[in-house]
Amino acid sequence: MKVRYCKMLLPWIYGLGCVIFSYPVFSQEKTITGTVYSSDGERLPGANVIQKGTSNGTLTDAEGNYTLQLIEGADILVFSFIGYVSEEIAVNEQSVIDVRLLSDVMSLSEVVVVGYGTQLKREVTGAVQTVDAQELQDLPVAQVTQKLQGRLAGVQINQTTGKPGQGMSVRIRGQLSVSGGSDPLYVVDGFPITGDIGSINPDEIQEISVLKDAASTALYGSRAANGVVLITTKKGKPGQTNISFTAYAGVQEVPREGRLEMMDAVEFVRFKKEYYEDAGQPVPEIFQDPSQYEGKNNDWYDALLRNAPIQSYSLAISTNREKVSTAIVAGIFDQQGVVLNSEFRRYSLRINTNYDVSDKIRLGFNLAPSYIEDNIPETDGTRGTGILFNALHTWPIMPIYDENGELTRFNRFPAETGNIFAYANWVRSVEEIDNETTEVNLLSNAFIEYEPIEGLVLKSTFNAELYNSKYFFFNPSTATGRINVPLPTTAFSIRENIEDFSWLNENLATYTRSFNDHNLELLVGFTNQKFRRNRTRIQADTYADDRLPTIQGAININRAGTNSGVEEWSLTSVLSRFTYNFKGKYLFTASIRSDGSSRFGADNRWGTFPSASIGWVVSDEDFLKGIEAISFAKLRASYGVTGNNNIGNYTQYALIDNTVNAVFGDNVAPGAVVTSLANNNLGWETTEQFDVGFDLGLFNDRIQFMYDYYKKTTTNLLFNVQIPQESGFGNFNDNIGEIDFWGHEFAITSINTNGKLKWTTNANISFNRNKVISLADGIDRVYGTWHITQTGQPFGQFYGHMADGLYWNEEDLANSPQVPGRSTVGSIKLRDVNGDGIITRGGDNDDRAIIGNPFPDFTYGITNTLRYGDFDLSVVGTGSHGNEVMVRHLYSTTNLDGVFNLMKEVKYRFRSVENPGKGFFGTTVGGGNVTGIERDWMNSRFVTDASFFTIRNVTLGYTIDEPAKFIRSARIYTSIQNLYVFTDYWGGSNPETSMQNNGQGDGGNLSQGVDLSGYPVPRTYTVGVNLNF
Amino acid sequence: MNEMKKSVILFGLTMLTFAGCQDDFLTIVPETSLSSATFFNTEADFQQAVNGVYVPLRNIVNERAWLLGEMHSDNTYYARNILFGATEQQEDIADFAIPSDNGVTTNTHVLNQYRLDYRIIARANQVLSRIDEVAFDANTKNNLKGQALFLRGYAYFELVRYFGSVPLHLTPVETRDEAALPMAPEADVYARIIEDVEEATGLLPPKSAQEPGRATSGAAKTLLANIYIARQKWAQAESLLKEVVQSNEYALMPDYADAFSTNTGNKNNGESVFEVQFKEGPDGLHGNFLYRFMPRPMAPEELVTITGTANPQPLNGEGNNIPTPDIIAAYEDGDLRRDASIDYITIEGSFWADKTYPYIKKYAKTHALHNNHGINWPVYRYSEVLLFLAEALNEQGKAGEAENYLNQVRSRAGLGAAQGDLREAIYRERRVELAFENKRWFDLVRTGRAIEVITEYGNRIKANPLAYYYPEGAAPRGNAFTNISLYYALPAAEADLSPHF
């Protein structure tokens, strides 16, 4: 509540601070020795050590050691190494100078990974942002996408639910689609994976490149429109053997602050008492004396939570012996969830090997198996299906434990108390119901590279991904996750096995040549990829014995829940890129890819995706060379076309469902019906994107600044257009409509101080906007349950009635528009938007309007890293401003009929004309006919600002060089993840929430920003150690 | 350079190889479901497709038809549960308070009835448009075509009576543009369904030669007679109905209660002309309408006395299709059908002072699984054939002959010959004989009595809500009985998508 956003921006201003150095002069000859380390303690061979202002210098040896005889001149040593920030150290009286260089992702001499190759950072003409995984290593989370929160301009990463190992929503430049997928394409070592990025141990990752504009992504053609994330895993480094071990362990908790404040037993009983009194009805005995419940509160939500341990261990070995280099990373990650009985465990291994057969031929093999097991109770969902939601609104007078201290089974009070539902004991629900998944994932690549003549490299790659998951669900007769299921219930089990196999063959030829000042590179290639999924699901019920949840232990196989299926797709592509620059100053890149896809209709099988980009290194021009402060400046512009092929595998076909059976007498007769319409022209979604930006380096690149403006137009949206059902069909899959996206992105990296205290700041801020230009002809709006997507407006806006307080008295009621037959004094007053004198929901006289926007005005992130001597401190913050959330659970948690437990605020409801409360909650009198409007007619009181700034992580570390023999360096650190959330959001603890990823309810892009009280995101305290051997 | 040439050639060749087999590589048809390209090729395909046409009937009679045809009349009402909201969709139908503007309504039951009827029509159209292109046994083909025509005619007959003018789809929709058609005048719809069902009467076998439960020539003739009666074409109706009577395929069950199927037995019995088929079990072929007709909230121990299941669960919400005092009073003294049709249950959790509610008994058959039963739903029974025939004869001035058929029905009910005006007698007889079989609203409309009867009925409820199951202090909503009209407004969700209404 508490902090306005402008305060949150203060760190930005600090970040711009700068420190001035002085240069003492010394003239005595002297020998200096020492060792150069990387910031994580690796010895750096081949680093430059130069006496400033002279040509006197040396390189470090294989162990990173150096010896330098000083000559006359400045008494300052300059240490530098590619990919690290150069450092200047005054010699003074020292004769041994060890130095630890900071890795520098912004370094312009750095090589960055781009699609199908690498490029010098200074020559990149697209919008590409890279993150060195080193910077992310301390964050105690399961998935690399969680670690990226707040690091990238233009990339909104939200944790929509705190389920261990799940729930990340990643949107690059706000891209979204009506019904196609909107997740970016993840490419691991050149292989566009089909599985979950969460199965990869983040410690295997060396570097992440995020491709944002069309010039960077167009080489991925029909899969590129949502942006591309390139992940490069660790490789053996030349000339080194490194062994490192990292581990952390800690505990997670759900902080008290921010939780939804529900009534305790006394408050609830008081509410019930008043409910009957206000209605003029006799108060049931159990509600007559609220004070008798003093000290007898049952906090059902809290009962489901615990403090839970988290731990992670990774061992990495990299060697380089003669012609073979190998990197091996083995990891164990184990996260218990903060909800009882939830856990996520990952065992992973990666072996990357390169073998130089000769000067001209190289081979490479990467193999990365992982094994994941998790158990995640059905915590998230709507009322009745989400256990956490159910627990929130369970009466606090219902006992969790019985007189003997045993967990109760379920609670139901007599009907005259207004308890119309049976409530299971939710503690049993999470503890007794199995909801386990085990996953085996194997990523592998093999390549052969051949350089027949200088400059020409031919490369063939074979990639395969195997994935197998086994899901097991067992609901014993003694528990349920649903409301209103009295126990014992019918026990049932679900088993689902999925086997995926995907392979990719890529054949690339790259020709690089430089002559005079012309540098050019030509890439041509063709690729084939195929995916196949086999799925089997068996649902069985009615168990004789809960202890034997086997298939044969069930009396009944549920036919409707038992099925199998195959999903397949194939993709054939040809691609080419031409890169040219003159003197490294005038830069030009053009690329094209053609994709043929089995997903596209027979009459529309191939799509072509071109792009072009230009860059101009202005700082190389004479007119800027005189300006000392500007060390680098580049202008960039790009244009390109990309596609989104996440349209379903068989959407083009008219499908027959042959399970629509009839009955005649006692006989079941197989029936078949056409369930969808064919579309032979069905194709990809097309996104045209224009981008301009510049990169600026100031004060010898101590401050680096990046800016991009983009404008995208997505057309041919895959749209399951609603058609009149007089046709017998509900929808027709078509490519229609147009959405515009545009935005600004700013990123800055600043080395604020580089003396004894090294302080760097990384910050970014992004402004993303979208607007629906058109939908289908004749259709200007698409409704979700609580959303509308309408032409001329941003996508997926909250839709409902405007709430204008309550009808305060008879006069107010008489003079205001009403819901005929339902509005009473003290009930909610909705706005008569169309001015016809009555309030109507739906139909031609609909009074609903747009009541909120789930999209933020801007999102931002800031990372400060400080290093002083052997201590290091980093603080990561992320924020979002101006987004709203629909607090959907209010339809239960503020239900005025006394059926559920309520938020404390409902105490301040309307009780009489004299006692109207705060005007937010209406009268309880009149039953569902009156209160149903407030509850069921979605209105603007459900919508609230959800701006936030989260201190995502604070880490404090201490490094010791060579603490023991065989240990080159050791670092110990302590870290707090999700330290604090500054927000005015009052609908629960997670303002990033959205039900879109939890597989419940509407879901999808049309229904973003809905809070159904999902799994809370924990605060995590850890201690960790990094050892280098 | 030589090396380079070789590489380029090799590269090019590989590329060509891949390009050559591209079409196969890129054509992937779904392996585990059928697509229309490979379906509708064999007799078995059409057999399955025709079976699929029947399926929406289950949803219609289980979930919608009793709302639109029975609770939308003076025969049944809802039993108000003041704790429950979100019940206005049903209440609006029973209260003749369906909000409608510009001829459309957002009522979800109206929408679903409309869509389910068109689902039958679309599936029948798929069959009828393709069956003649595939050669197979003529008898089988005729039988299948007859069933599809019967079902399409039945669906349109429902639509035309609910809505009047509706779009007339007779061929399958294949593109987006074909999805919406202009409204066809009521007379055109009737002309077409008469043509369809007439053709069906010639194609379908009699009941004795047909698989039990499927449409028969007798069912088609009864349906066609019903259509003629709705159009007041008495002579055509008479001759069709006489064919049904003279076919000797049907007879009244001696005991009225036995006219209705049990959970697993007595299905498609001698009196049954056409009924919607259900089967208890986990395969989704079951009904649960009995549960929808229960007053609520009901405890498991109360429910089990009716259902007899091993796993009774409580029923919440608001009970629907509860017999009104009006229908109970409509039975003459000594009418055996009253106790066979209506029984009483006391529910302690009720807010209604009396706590003892009537409920529909004719479908209350014990079964095994909670909320899942195999009781069939009667669409046409032989007793209705007799009453139709009596009416068709009487309207043509053949009162003597008419009385004979009427009294067959009455005598089975333990009653003597009808007294007084014969037209009134037949009208009254239909009400009690066919109570809760979704006939009442259509009868009120076609006999021109709807407005008057419902207005008086509404006044009775408003004057004495306690008698109509309102708890003390609760009253009919302000909008009750404010929108009594002969047709339902068209569904708004469809109007939003169609340029034609």
Confidence of residue A4 (pLDDT cuts 50, 70, 90): very low
pLDDT value at position A185?
Answer: 94
Gap between the terminal Cα atoms of chain B? 74
Q: Residue A567 has which token pair?
A: 């999903």
Q: Taking all residues of chain A, what is their mean pLDDT, rounded to a whole number? A: 89
Interchain proximity A653–B55, CB inside 8 Å: no
Least confident interval from A59-68, A753-762, B2-11: B2-11
CB B435 within 8 A of CB B340: no
DSSP E strands, B218-338: 272-276, 319-323
Chain B residues touching residue A564 (CB < 8 angstroms): 32
Among A486, A509, A931, whose Cβ lies nearest the Cβ of B314? A486
| ipTM of predicted complex | 0.91
* Residue of A556, A821, A927 lying closest to B479 (CB–CB): A821
Per-residue pLDDT at A25 exceeds 50: no
pLDDT band at A69, cuts 50/70/90? confident
Alpha helices in A846-927 (DSSP H): 890-893
| A105-109, A819-823, B100-104, B343-347: range with highest mean pLDDT | B343-347
pLDDT-derived band at A1006 (thresholds 50, 70, 90) equals confident
Question: Using one digit for the tens of pLDDT, what is the confidence trace for B432-477?
Answer: 999 999 999 999 999 999 999 999 999 999 999 999 999 988 889 8
pLDDT digits (tens, 9 = 90+) for A181-219: 788 999 999 999 988 888 899 999 999 999 999 999 999
Give the percent of chain A with pLDDT over 70: 95
Cβ atoms A163, A379 nearer than 8 A: yes
At A978, the pLDDT band (50, 70, 90 cuts) reads very high
Name every residue whose Cβ is closer than 8 Å to that of residue A615 and which is 6 or more positions away in sequence.
Answer: A123, A124, A125, A586, A587, A588, A634, A635, A636, A637
| Chain A residue closest in CA terms to B116 | A728
pTM given for the model: 0.81
Q: Which stretch of A18-32, A349-363, A750-764 has the lowest confidence by average pLDDT?
A: A18-32
Give the span between the Cα atoms of B457 and B446, in whole angstroms: 18
Pairing between strand A324-336 and A87-90?
Answer: unpaired
Between CA A41 and CA A38 the distance in angstroms is 5
CA A604 to the chain's CA centroid = 33
For chain B, count helices (H), then strands (E): 20, 12
Find the residue in B nearest to A450 (Cα).
B7
What part of B 24-83 touches A (C-beta under 8 Å)? 25-37, 39, 45, 47-49, 51-52, 54-55, 82-83
| 8 Å CB contact between A864 and A875 | yes
Is B164 in the A-facing interface, judged by CB distances under 8 Å?
Answer: no
DSSP B202-248: HHSPPGGGS-TTS--HHHHHHHHHHHHHHTT-HHHHHHHHHHHHHTT
Best of A499, A524, A568, A663 to substitute, by most chain B Cβ atoms within 10 angstroms, is A663
Task: Give me the pLDDT at residue A104, please.
Answer: 63
Which structure tokens are listed for A724?
Answer: 């009149």
pLDDT of res. A902 = 95
Nearest CA in chain B to A509: B11
β-partners of residue A514 are A519
Distance CA A434, CA A156 (A): 33
**Strand A48-51's sheet: what is its strand order?**
A57-59, A48-51, A76-80, A87-90
Tokens of B86: 């979100």
B378 touches chain A (CB under 8 A): no
Domain ranges of chain B: 45-204+448-495, 289-360
Which candidate in B26, B92, B313, B371 is best for mutational testing of the A interface (most A CBs within 10 A)?
A: B26
Q: Which residues of A touch B18 (CB under 8 A)?
A: 526, 528, 572
Q: Go through the domains of chain A in sequence order and give each one's CATH number.
A: 5-101 (2.60.40.10), 803-1029 (no CATH)
- Answer whether residue A5 shows pLDDT above 70: no
Residues 6+ away with beta carbon under 8 Å from A378: A385, A386, A387, A429, A433, A435, A481
H-state helical runs in B133-209: 138-163, 186-203
CA A510-A512-A517 angle, 5° bins: 155
Residue A18: is its pLDDT beyond 50? no
On chain B, the residues whose CB falls within 8 A of the CB of A487 are none
Taking domain B45-204+448-495, whether its CATH number is 3.40.50.300 is answered by no
Task: Give tens-digit pLDDT for A581-616.
Answer: 999 899 999 999 999 999 999 889 999 999 999 999
The residue of A420, A498, A726 whose CB has the most chain B CBs within 10 angstroms, and thus the best one to mutate to test that interface, is A726
- Residue labelled with tokens 């490192």: A244
Nearest to B180 among A415, A726, A931 (CB): A726
C-beta contacts of B29-33 below 8 A and 24+ residues apart:
B29/A650, B29/A653, B30/A566, B30/A649, B30/A650, B30/A653, B30/A655, B31/A566, B31/A568, B32/A564, B32/A565, B32/A566, B33/A565, B33/A650, B33/A655, B33/A656, B33/A657, B33/A658
A68-77, A596-605, B247-256, B326-335: which has the minimum mean pLDDT? A68-77
Neighbouring C-beta atoms of residue B42, cutoff 10 Å: 11
The residue among A502, A727, A780, A840 with the most chain B CBs within 10 A of its CB, best to mutate, is A727
Q: Which of B166, B160, B64 is nearest to B112 (CA)?
A: B64
Place of tokens 């500054």: A982
DSSP 3-state of B338: helix
Query: Contact at 8 Å (CB) between B358 and B260?
Result: no
Q: Please name which of A128, A46, A29 lies closest in space to residue A84, comparing C-alpha atoms.
A: A46
With contact defined as beta carbons under 8 Å apart, do B266 and B260 qualify? Answer: yes
| Banded pLDDT at A315 (limits 50, 70, 90) | very high
The pLDDT, as a whole number, for residue A9 is 39
CA A274, chain centre distance (Å): 45
CB atoms within 10 A of CB A622: 6
Name chain A contacts of B178, Cβ cutoff 8 Å. 727
The highest-confidence range among A381-395, A766-780, B284-298, by mean pLDDT, is: B284-298
Contacts of B348 in chain A (CB under 8 A): 415
Query: A15: pLDDT confidence band, cut at 50, 70 and 90?
Result: very low
Nearest Cα of chain A lies from the Cα of B296 at a distance, in angstroms, of: 11
CA terminus-to-terminus distance, chain A = 48
Sign of CA dihedral B23, B24, B26, B31: positive
φ and ψ at B491, to 5 degrees?
-70, 135
Confidence check: pLDDT of B136 > 90: yes
pLDDT at A420 over 50: yes
Residue B448 touches chain A, beta carbons under 8 Å = no
Which residues, at least 6 apart from A950, have a Cβ–Cβ distance to it below 8 Å? A877, A878, A879, A978, A980, A981, A982
Dihedral (CA of A221, A223, A228, A231) sign: negative
